[in-house]
Amino acid sequence: MLRVGAVVDELGGELHGDADRVIAGILPLHLAGPTHLSFLSHPRYRRDLEHSQAGCVIVPPDMVNIARQRGDCIVAQQPYLYFARLTQLWKRMQRQGTEDDGPRIHPSAVIDPSATIDPSARIGPLCTVGERAVVGADTVLVARVSVGERCVLGSRCLVHPGVVLGADGFGFAQDGAEWVKIEHLGAVRIGNDVEIGANTCIDRGALLDTVIEDGVKLDNLIQIAHNVRIGPHTALAGCVGVAGSADIGARCTIGGGAVVLGHLRIADDVHISAATVVTHSLPKPGQYSGIFPIDDNAAWEKNAATLKQLSRLRDRVRKLESLSPPLSEH
Amino acid sequence: MLRVGAVVDELGGELHGDADRVIAGILPLHLAGPTHLSFLSHPRYRRDLEHSQAGCVIVPPDMVNIARQRGDCIVAQQPYLYFARLTQLWKRMQRQGTEDDGPRIHPSAVIDPSATIDPSARIGPLCTVGERAVVGADTVLVARVSVGERCVLGSRCLVHPGVVLGADGFGFAQDGAEWVKIEHLGAVRIGNDVEIGANTCIDRGALLDTVIEDGVKLDNLIQIAHNVRIGPHTALAGCVGVAGSADIGARCTIGGGAVVLGHLRIADDVHISAATVVTHSLPKPGQYSGIFPIDDNAAWEKNAATLKQLSRLRDRVRKLESLSPPLSEH
Amino acid sequence: MLRVGAVVDELGGELHGDADRVIAGILPLHLAGPTHLSFLSHPRYRRDLEHSQAGCVIVPPDMVNIARQRGDCIVAQQPYLYFARLTQLWKRMQRQGTEDDGPRIHPSAVIDPSATIDPSARIGPLCTVGERAVVGADTVLVARVSVGERCVLGSRCLVHPGVVLGADGFGFAQDGAEWVKIEHLGAVRIGNDVEIGANTCIDRGALLDTVIEDGVKLDNLIQIAHNVRIGPHTALAGCVGVAGSADIGARCTIGGGAVVLGHLRIADDVHISAATVVTHSLPKPGQYSGIFPIDDNAAWEKNAATLKQLSRLRDRVRKLESLSPPLSEH
């Protein structure tokens, strides 16, 4: 429970209404009641705002009149950002009542004696941390995380269960039909403020390190191969696969299930749609896509069959063009 | 080892043949010998039935004559369903001889004292169960499963190794180039009779819960993002990714590697083909697909190159149509 | 630190230069300095060779003159293969100084007493090995690996963290709207010299075993469903999904994120491009692809919209062809 006044004291914003109103939770506009705080994340939800029963709503400056006709509000330049900070405040508040968070290093974790764990870091249950690995200040390995030998995590990282950092990259030389393993002598180097989702894997480099720069956010079940670099503040959604030695710039976003092939370069500020396959370098910022459109199965089957003849269809069109009267006549 | 008579006593069906025949195993028609039980899963395997050396076969009523010419059989309305129940019977029988299944809660599991574990539930080795989590009756966490704080599993669920329930959803607000974390105050709520495959992840909701309803079956390496709802008896094959706030109906099936984008709604009884990307809501039942057809590499390259010019090709066809004699003449 | 002479003594090759040069590391041509060994992996990097500051470079016979103009070199028939063996030598050398690798079976691992672990195998921390499972000679489970009951691993396998071998396959019979579980009575059988990447899953078979043959290499986050067979020396890149009962031949390669549907057969020596969906059997060796080409978002949208009308576009071309003068006239 928080007073609205306490929220504004902590997070700023201009309160129109009762500072002593007590808030029991945060809910979307259409579900919130008189004891809830809510927020307008986008102007398209203006209707929901008008009808919301929320005790208080967070709105941008240009919505203040509409919001006040409805009841109490907090005016913030960026309501969604304000909401994010509110969730953080809420979590801290919830934590206050409970006992402390238990031991800094859970006794079930298996830590190599040569590893360096910052005294403020937290290593949850059933993690493994290898030889000479480094875990920075305030970094949290939630549970069941593996950090391989010599891998380095910066400060304030959050690593969810099942993550594997520093498994061997997938590298082999061929000797006839057989694969001869390339031992991976590099490691994984992760900057500050990186979040890594559940069951995501980041492989160690062959000779140099795989590098994840500051502020990168990785969702669940992502595969980052050896020698990849991901630039600062880039975010990858779930199930993305990045092949070896790909170099991804800063402030990119990559949608869920996308695949980035190896040995290519993606510029800063590139945005890749979900399920798109990046087959060549993208030297310019922009939004890129490559998704087969979904359709009912019968229509898809017909179109897919024609697609297999597409270059021939183009040849047929060319032939028709060569047969038809010159375009200049029209 | 089971007598055929014991099978029929337990599972029903009409036996034609020797009830005292002893069965040492279950095998497909073409591999079964005189000590094996087999089954006809589909009429297209009729040939295999005719030539099978199986000691006894499970067949539908309309195959009884063919089956009896061959030897012993059990007649069942749905042989594949009968087979499924037979595998369950077989497993129970195999278990009987062995000592008991060990402790209900393996001593290596790390369970928060505030969690509620039903006395009939089994928590396997090296699992973690967080604060105030709930595990229902007869639910089994096989091994190395993580259940986050406040997540709830119903009764008779089966959760395979490596599963992560209730990691934080992937939610951030932007503050310039930086991502500001949205703390996830919701949890994961899982109904009864849900099976969750190895290394699958289900994230907690931001404000409300992520919800998996009764009888849902999830294969391995699936990603279910925050605030998703999956309706009863829906089944997802391996490597599917479901983005945030997607709402999937009842009795759907989603093929392996498919991607469901966020904030969309899939009706009941929708079937999505493997590797298809669901980019918009699907309000009607049916089968939907979107797969780029595989081809030999040279043919694919030509067709893919033409595909990048496809809308221009359509414009060229339009132009040709405008140049050609009126269709009414033909 | 290794003397160049010691490298050649161990791995062969013809040294041109100073056998007493001491090497502090291995680096790519453009980053190597006088204390580094480097290698020419492909003739296209000849420029890098000419300008490399490496103390010594590994080159093929036809590059010896260029290499010697630059400085010391080792001539090897296959420099990349030589490099792979060099990384192995390097790792062994690095290991020599350190204390031994700890206990053969880490005390935190949970091993069923009926499992058979070869005395030379290593079971890392927080692994689980089920009833009657078998782990062969010199096989290593790095950490947090689960091996299900009755699963068998051959000799010299390397299994990375988070791997799940022998979870139940995804098999159910329908009983009205409900799914009835098919208990999986088979297991997983893995040959010799198999490497399995982090968080990869291989499900047990329903009646027979899922089989991974000798020398197979699996990258991270791969899903191998029940009853699959993968032939010797086949390699699968990250995030591949293989559906049930697929039978994949020897010496195949499957690119990252590809999906192989169930109950189909892939011949020996088939190569599948990344992110390709194999929807039917491929009885002939070759390279196969099916990737929607990436484009800037606006162009993709137009082409994708046209693609949904493609079979109609073909019909329109047919009509135009029927209207146009006979081709023989041209």
Q: Chains with ≥3 Cβ pairs under 8 A against C?
A: A, B
Contacts of B273 (CB under 8 A, 6+ apart): A297, A300, B255, B258, B287, B288, B289, B290, B291
| Mutant choice from C112, C165, C168, C269 vs B, greatest count of B C-beta within 10 A | C168
Where does a domain end: C97, C122, C156?
A: C97
CB of C250 within 8 Å of a chain A CB? The answer is yes
| Mutant choice from C220, C271, C306 vs A, greatest count of A C-beta within 10 A | C220
User: Does residue C123 sit in the same domain as residue C247?
Assistant: yes
User: Does residue C281 sit in the same domain as residue C302?
Assistant: no
Cβ-contact B197, B214 below 8 angstroms: no
Residue C105 lies in a domain: no
Domain count, chain B: 2
Alpha-carbon gap, residue A102 to A105, rounded angstroms: 9
The CATH number that applies at residue B77 is 3.40.1390.10
User: Does residue A75 sit in the same domain as residue A141?
Assistant: no
Q: Can you give the pLDDT at residue A94? A: 87
Q: Is the pLDDT of residue C298 over 60?
A: yes
| Whole-prediction pTM | 0.97
The single residue listed with the structure tokens 């062959």 is: A206
Where does a domain end: B48, B65, B97?
A: B97
How many residues are listed for chain B in this entry?
A: 330
CB of B312 within 8 Å of a chain A CB? The answer is no
CB of C19 within 8 Å of a chain A CB? The answer is no
What are the C-alpha distances in Å from A113 to residues A130, A133, A134?
A: 9, 10, 11
Residue B28 lies in a domain: yes
Identify which of C172, C239, C320 has the shortest CB distance to residue B84.
Answer: C172
User: Does residue A134 sit in the same domain as residue A281?
Assistant: yes
Alpha-carbon gap, residue B242 to C167, rounded angstroms: 22
State the SS3 of A166-224: EECCCCEEEECCEEEECCCCCCEEECCCCEECCCCEEECCCCCCEEECCCCEECCCCEE
User: How many other β-carbons are positioned within 10 Å of the β-carbon of residue B207?
Assistant: 21
Alpha-carbon gap, residue B293 to C29, rounded angstroms: 40
Identify which of B126, B177, B203 has the shortest CB distance to residue A220.
Answer: B203
Enumerate residue ranges in chain B where pLDDT < 50: 328-330
Alpha-carbon gap, residue B216 to A218, rounded angstroms: 27
User: Does residue B177 sit in the same domain as residue B280?
Assistant: yes
> How close, in Å, is residue B296 to chain C by CA atoms?
4
- Interface pTM, i.e. ipTM: 0.96
Q: Can you give the pLDDT at residue C96? A: 80
- Which residues of chain C are within 8 Å of residue B143 when distances are taken between CB atoms? 110, 128, 146
Beta bridge partners of B64: none
pLDDT digits (tens, 9 = 90+) for A205-250: 999 999 999 999 999 999 999 999 999 999 999 999 999 999 999 9
pLDDT digits (tens, 9 = 90+) for C197-226: 999 999 999 999 999 999 999 999 999 999
Enumerate residue ranges in chain A where pLDDT < 50: 328-330
Contacts of C169 (CB under 8 A, 6+ apart): C182, C184, C203, C204, C205, C206, C210, C225, C226, C227, C244
User: Does residue A77 sit in the same domain as residue A193?
Assistant: no
Which residues of B belong to the active site?
Answer: 226
User: Does residue B187 sit in the same domain as residue B76?
Assistant: no
Identify which of A158, A304, A314 has the shortest CB distance to residue B293.
Answer: A304
> How close, in Å, is residue C208 to chain B by CA atoms?
8
Q: Can you give the pLDDT at residue A257? A: 98
User: Does residue B186 sit in the same domain as residue B267?
Assistant: yes
Q: Can you give the pLDDT at residue B94? A: 87
User: Does residue C91 sit in the same domain as residue C168?
Assistant: no
pLDDT digits (tens, 9 = 90+) for B97-120: 665 666 799 999 999 999 999 999
Q: Can you give the pLDDT at residue A328? A: 47
Q: Chains with ≥3 Cβ pairs under 8 A against A?
A: B, C
> How close, in Å, is residue C272 to chain B by CA atoms?
9
Residue B195 lies in a domain: yes
Q: Which of A106, A107, A151, A146 is nearest to A128 (CA)?
A: A146
Residue A208 lies in a domain: yes
Q: Can you give the pLDDT at residue B103? A: 75
Q: Can you give the pLDDT at residue B330? A: 43
> What is the domain range of residue A260?
117-288
Residue C102 lies in a domain: no
User: Does residue A129 sit in the same domain as residue A277?
Assistant: yes
- Which residues of chain A are within 8 Å of residue B321 when distances are taken between CB atoms? none
Alpha-carbon gap, residue B208 to B138, rounded angstroms: 26
Q: Can you give the pLDDT at residue A325? A: 67
pLDDT digits (tens, 9 = 90+) for C225-276: 999 999 999 999 999 999 999 999 999 999 999 999 999 999 999 999 999 9
CB of A110 within 8 Å of a chain C CB? The answer is yes
Contacts of B207 (CB under 8 A, 6+ apart): A25, A26, A27, A28, B185, B186
Identify which of C173, C310, C317 has the shortest CB distance to residue B84.
Answer: C173
CB of B264 within 8 Å of a chain A CB? The answer is no
DSSP state of B56: E
Q: Can you give the pLDDT at residue C329? A: 45
Residue B310 lies in a domain: no
Q: Can you give the pLDDT at residue C328? A: 47
CB of B55 within 8 Å of a chain C CB? The answer is no
Q: Can you give the pLDDT at residue C1? A: 87
Could C110 and B87 be called an inter-chain contact, meaning their C-beta atoms sit closer than 8 Å? Answer: no
User: Does residue C23 sit in the same domain as residue C131?
Assistant: no
The CATH number that applies at residue A273 is 2.160.10.10
Residue C103 lies in a domain: no
Q: Can you give the pLDDT at residue B96? A: 80
Q: Can you give the pLDDT at residue A326? A: 59
Residue A141 lies in a domain: yes
User: Does residue C148 sit in the same domain as residue C266?
Assistant: yes
Q: Can you give the pLDDT at residue B97? A: 63
Query: What region, left, alpha or beta, does residue C323 occupy, with left being phi > 0 and alpha being psi -120 to 50 degrees?
Result: alpha
